[in-house]
């Protein structure tokens, strides 16, 4: 084989003898280095060092193995369901006070037939139900758009970002409600708190992000994923039940402001726990673009599900 470089040798593989009758040795270049023409050696490659992405993927899989999302889920729904009934209690008591009647649940001496206590109770319940309906509506309607976009946002910036936003929105609602309850502002100011919470996605967005973290940290089809989903659902139910049970005792003992402060404190603890003890389950990757096509596809799915549910 004749090389193009001047340092290569003219090497004839046929066995020849030197002038002194000895067999030729291995070919050498002009610098005296032995050249190896073995085919196996030519194609042999040295092991490549582990890349940064491979090391990150291995570390990510190892870290995600101990994700404990059940605790913040339990605390979030404990906070949420401890604060929601307090609003209804407050609205009922305030309607009784504004009408100048004692806060009782039974009928007055006038009787139902004479249009006494029963008629007044119906009026109060109707007004409280109207306020509650508006609060729920204003908290749910603004949450549609954040939920549609939050999947792409969490894939781009991290799953915990969505959880942080929802907890901050819940804290904003509780702050507004606390001010209204303490300073006896107009009831309509409560709508501001519901809108602020809805703009961050509400509890639906929190659940979506929590289950996404479970899916990221477990293998598809594995038994561990089923166990984690079951535990997350159990944490949701236990937190909701405990919150609803606690709220009545809170109001009876300490009034309407204390439960809201306690619930806001739980949201702060949720954020701290997520930051310190829940690892990010999204590995670093090129950012996912957020475009209008994602919104249109999400709206299409939302409308299909809504139509199917109505039928």
User: Bigger pLDDT: 246 or 153?
Assistant: 246
Q: What is the DSSP string of 193-246?
A: HHHHHHHTTHHHHHHHHHHHHHHHHS-TT-HHHHHHHHHHHHHHHHHHHHHHHH
**Would you say residue 119 has pLDDT above 80?**
yes
Kindly state whether residue 151 falls inside one of the protein's structural domains: yes
Q: If you compute the radius of gyration of the chain from its CA atoms, what whole number of angstroms results?
A: 34
54's CB contacts (< 8 A; 6+ apart) are none
Band of the pLDDT at 114, cuts 50, 70, 90?
very low
Kindly state whether residue 19 falls inside one of the protein's structural domains: no
User: How far is Cα 120 from Cα 141, in angstroms, rounded to an integer?
Assistant: 32
pTM: 0.71
User: Bigger pLDDT: 95 or 113?
Assistant: 95
| Span 89-100, pLDDT tens digits | 999 999 998 887
Q: Are 153 and 162 in contact (CB under 8 A)?
A: yes
Which CATH number characterizes residue 144's domain? 1.20.1250.20
User: How far is Cα 16 from Cα 84, in angstroms, rounded to an integer?
Assistant: 98
Kindly state whether residue 1 falls inside one of the protein's structural domains: no
Kindly state whether residue 7 falls inside one of the protein's structural domains: no
Question: Which residues, listed in sequence order, are joined to residue 28 by a DSSP beta bridge?
Answer: 34
Question: Which residues, listed in sequence order, are joined to residue 34 by a DSSP beta bridge?
Answer: 28
Kindly state whether residue 191 falls inside one of the protein's structural domains: yes
Quote the distance between the C-alpha of residue 45 and its chain's center. Answer: 45
Band of the pLDDT at 52, cuts 50, 70, 90?
very low
Count the domains in the chain: 1
Kindly state whether residue 157 falls inside one of the protein's structural domains: yes
| Span 144-194, pLDDT tens digits | 888 888 877 888 888 999 999 999 999 999 999 999 999 999 999 999 999
Kindly state whether residue 196 falls inside one of the protein's structural domains: yes
Domain that holds residue 252: 67-104+115-283
User: Bigger pLDDT: 103 or 185?
Assistant: 185
* 184 torsion bin: left (phi>0), alpha (psi -120 to 50), beta (else): left
CA distances to 102, 214, 236, 302 from 233, in Å: 41, 11, 5, 23
Query: What whole-number percentage of the chain has pLDDT above 90?
Result: 48
Kindly state whether residue 265 falls inside one of the protein's structural domains: yes
């Amino acid at each position: 084989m004749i090389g193009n470089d001047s340092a290569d040798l003219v090497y004839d593989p046929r066995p020849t003898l030197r002038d002194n009758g000895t067999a030729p040795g291995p070919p050498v270049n002009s610098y005296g280095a032995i050249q190896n023409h073995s085919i196996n050696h030519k194609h042999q490659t040295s092991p490549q060092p582990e890349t940064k992405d491979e090391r990150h993927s291995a570390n990510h899989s190892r870290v995600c193995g101990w994700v404990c999302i059940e605790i913040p889920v339990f605390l979030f729904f404990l906070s949420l369901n401890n604060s929601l009934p307090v609003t209804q209690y407050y609205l009922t008591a305030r309607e009784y006070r504004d009408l100048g009647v004692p806060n009782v649940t039974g009928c007055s001496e006038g009787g139902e037939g004479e249009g006494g206590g029963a008629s007044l109770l119906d009026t109060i319940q109707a007004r409280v139900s109207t306020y509650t309906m508006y609060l729920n509506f204003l908290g749910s309607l603004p949450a549609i758009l954040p939920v549609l976009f939050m999947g792409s946002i969490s894939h781009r910036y991290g799953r915990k970002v969505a959880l942080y936003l929802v907890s901050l929105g819940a804290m904003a609602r509780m702050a507004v409600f606390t001010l209204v309850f303490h300073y006896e502002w107009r009831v309509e100011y409560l709508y501001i708190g519901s809108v602020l919470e809805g703009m961050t996605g509400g509890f639906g967005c929190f659940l979506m992000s929590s289950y996404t973290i479970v899916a990221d940290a477990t293998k598809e089809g594995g038994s561990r994923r089923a166990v984690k989903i079951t535990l997350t659902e159990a944490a949701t139910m236990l937190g909701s039940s405990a919150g609803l049970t606690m709220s009545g005792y809170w109001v009876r003992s300490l009034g309407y402001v204390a439960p809201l402060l306690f619930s806001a404190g739980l949201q702060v603890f949720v954020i701290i726990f997520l930051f310190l003890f829940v690892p990010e389950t999204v590995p670093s990757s090129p950012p996912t673009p957020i475009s209008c096509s994602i919104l249109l596809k999400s709206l299409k799915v939302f409308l299909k599900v809504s139509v199917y549910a109505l039928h």
